Amino acid sequence: MVTDGEPTAHLEGEQAFFAWPPEPETIRLTLAEAVRLSRSGVTLNIFMLEDSEGLARFMERLAERTGGRVFLMDDRNVGEFVLRDYVRHRSR
């Protein structure tokens, strides 16, 4: 996951719901989906392109619940970092 902010949207049926600041339901659904992915074997690595208090708090919660990792970086080096991390940790 690459993000520059907290989750601000979720689906309600077939309709997209957007809100800023994030609604509690959006946070809850985002965390639930991340946990579901983690339980199915997906490793969640989070690349933060912004360093705000709210975003950092949310991303730490996300990483704690999924066993993922959080990285703070700028958009100039995220591609190189993702590729190197993938090569270093891929299953053989």
What are the DSSP calls for 40-73, one per residue?
TT---EEEES---HHHHHHHHHHHHHHT-EEEE-
Domain enclosing residue 30, as ranges: 2-89
**How many domains does the chain fold into?**
1
CB 82 within 8 A of CB 73: no
Mean pLDDT within 15-20: 93
Between CA 72 and CA 40 the distance in angstroms is 26
pLDDT tens across 37-86, in order?
Answer: 999 998 888 888 888 888 888 889 999 999 998 888 777 777 777 778 77
Q: According to the model, what pLDDT value does residue 92 have? A: 56
Which is more confidently placed, 89 or 39? 39
Is pLDDT of 32 > 70? yes
Q: According to the model, what pLDDT value does residue 56 have? A: 87
Q: According to the model, what pLDDT value does residue 91 have? A: 66
